[in-house]
Amino acid sequence: MSESGKISVQTENIFPIIKKWLYSEKDIFLRELVSNATDAISKLKKIALTEEFEGGTDYKIAVTFDKEARTLSIEDNGIGMSGEEIKRYINQIAFSGAEEFAKKYDSADNKAGIIGHFGLGFYSSFMVSTKVVIESKSYKKGEQAVKWESESGTDFQLSTIDRAERGTKITLHLDADSGEYLDKWKLKELIKKYCDFLQVPITVETEDANKRKALWSESPSSLKKEDYVEFYNYLFPFSGEPHFWVHLNVDYPFRLQGILYFPKLKHELDVSKNGIKLYCNHVFVSDEANELVPQFLTVLKGTIDIPDLPLNVSRSYLQTDPLVKKISAHIIKKIADRLTEDFRKDRANFESNWDEIALFVKYGIISDEKFYDAAKSCVLFKSSNGNYTTLEEYLERNKEKNEKKVYYAPEVEASSSIMELFKSSGLEAVLVDTRIDSHFIQYMEGKNPEVRFQRVDAEITDQLIDKSTTSEIVDENNKTESDRLQEFFKNAIGREGLEIKVESLKSGDVPAVVILPEHMRRISEMNLGMNHDKGALLKMHTLLINSSSKLVKNAFRLSEGVNTDKAKLIAQHVYDLALISSKVMNEADMGNFLKRSSQILEDLTN
């Protein structure tokens, strides 16, 4: 038998399109051909359940090359094809799909709408070849082996040949630009990247090239911790041990398998790019799963395998599809469920990991309503008492003191003067330390309208004020000592926009506290990293003078005596210390503070 002919394709631009932009990466022709070989073996495995055939069941795929002849071959011992099947599957179905594609998607603007067709994977071989030869023998008894050849992609020759073994061998005569595929290490690298988890042994020049075992396809009940950690380090070498993982295994309403790991992060912005590898039936598709995984989950690493993945024809990216949204929602739910499960089962371990996962959880809560609903109960705050607490626990513990108010402070200010005053008065604050906490607090207030978060230095709570002090005596000018103290500090500091208040606090250790309105603080912290001017915060602020402080009393005594200059210097220094404690001192103020500090030290050493 010998036959030659022309594929009935009207569009002449099919192959330029396939070569130029149908496939975003030239390397994937190998993925497509090996995938087709795997499919041929999978079909034969199914047939083996009901039929007998020659050739045994030692299934394999062999990749070989000949440098002198510049040929690359991919051979399988799968189902094989007869001459009629080659004409049907290669000539008719493949090219009718190609023709339809070329007519409908002949511009790059329409690229996102492409749906895959059977056979176009095979025609990716023309991306790297001047000639393609198929030699195949069907598993069916009595079928003649055949050879299909094409140089142009539109003309073909079909003839019978002598071939003893069933299966298909595709030989590519590589073009001048594709000599890189005549290298064993390059081919093994590509097999590892794209076909590592195909469950058929693949060799490159007789050397094993794929791992085969996809852990995500195993039953979770059959796996141990060591299995998950070993697989993680196989995928991501030198990454250590992950905090936790989620094994995805869904059959309905869509098929989904995978394992997602939460890695140990070096710092809060150590988010790995391309950490999630996307597979379709064990074939690697992409390491960009943005449509499937929301931004707050990109910290995760691992694999997702979706057999019904709505891919474009090149299998290089996802298409917009309702299924993608359903899968994304399922992944979000599974991650939230795992967090709450770990929180309930082993809170001590959960707390030990909280610092590394806090940013991820808070960002997720702000970003996704369903994630908030599922994970809100396991959100932790560091407490000024030295432990971790949930919002619910904090409110219950402080309901008599705070009345639905949550006091908070940045963790870097945990040992500030106001915090020491807070703790000495038996009050509790939560400590915040991530870049998004101002946004997170705002969000939590929106979700819990009856709860108000307040910075400890936004106002002085009544619990800090000493109510036992006696009423003050009025002098001949109808002024109390507090009035005179207020006037002294106002004149000594002389800063526009500064309001001076005087209170007797329970502790005399804190001479003064800078008070900034809550809304100003939040705006400042939300603008962190945007060159926000600290000086803008101080346009309107309050300095609360503690009349119980011995330093304040001494400065005031000097002001009413003969050493008013020293009193003024001390008053300014008290103000400086309050600014530093509140982390709002700008560079100009810092310079003046250093000069005054030197002057005070000189006076002390005279």
3-state DSSP assignment of residue 257: strand
Return the structure tokens found at 425.
């008065």
Model confidence at 447, pLDDT cuts 50, 70, 90, reads very high
Return the structure tokens found at 582.
């509140």
Return the structure tokens found at 38.
């795997």
- The CB density around residue 293, as the number of other CB atoms within 10 Å, is 22
Residues of the chain with CATH 3.30.565.10: 2-208
Longest dimension (CA), the chain: 127
Check if CATH label 3.30.565.10 holds for domain 2-208. Answer: yes
Residue 531 has pLDDT above 80, yes or no: no
Q: Which amino acid is at 1?
A: M
Model confidence at 534, pLDDT cuts 50, 70, 90, reads low
Residues of the chain with CATH 1.20.120.790: 470-515+535-605
3-state DSSP assignment of residue 226: helix
Higher pLDDT, 274 or 110: 274
pTM of the model: 0.78
Question: Distance of CA 456 to CAs 434, 459, 498, 593, Å?
Answer: 18, 7, 19, 25
3-state DSSP assignment of residue 27: coil
CB 124 within 8 A of CB 32: yes
pLDDT in tens, 7-23: 654 434 455 555 554 45
What is the CATH number that goes with domain 470-515+535-605? 1.20.120.790
- The CB density around residue 14, as the number of other CB atoms within 10 Å, is 24
Helices (H) and strands (E) counted in the chain, each on its own, are 19, 22
- The CB density around residue 71, as the number of other CB atoms within 10 Å, is 17
The residues with which 169 forms a beta bridge, in sequence order, are 75, 135
Let me know if 245 is exposed, middle or buried by CB neighbors in 10 A (0-12, 13-18, 19+): buried
Fold of 215-348: Ribosomal Protein S5; domain 2 (3.30.230)
Residue 37 has pLDDT above 60, yes or no: yes
3-state DSSP assignment of residue 461: coil
Segment 187-216 shows an average pLDDT of 96
Residues of the chain with CATH 3.30.230.80: 215-348
Q: What is the 8-class DSSP label of residue 271?
A: P
d(CA 513, CA 290): 47
| pLDDT at site 525 | 66
pLDDT in tens, 383-396: 998 899 999 999 99
Angle between helical axes of 184-195 and 28-47 (0-180°, round to 10): 60
Alpha helices, DSSP H, located in 146-255: 184-195, 225-235
3-state DSSP assignment of residue 113: helix
Segment 269-280 shows an average pLDDT of 72
Residue 581 has pLDDT above 60, yes or no: yes
CB 579 within 8 A of CB 515: no
Model confidence at 6, pLDDT cuts 50, 70, 90, reads low
Parallel/antiparallel/unpaired status of strands 541-546 and 512-515: antiparallel
pLDDT in tens, 161-195: 999 899 999 999 999 999 999 999 999 999 999 99
Parallel/antiparallel/unpaired status of strands 244-250 and 388-389: unpaired
Residue 464 has pLDDT above 90, yes or no: no
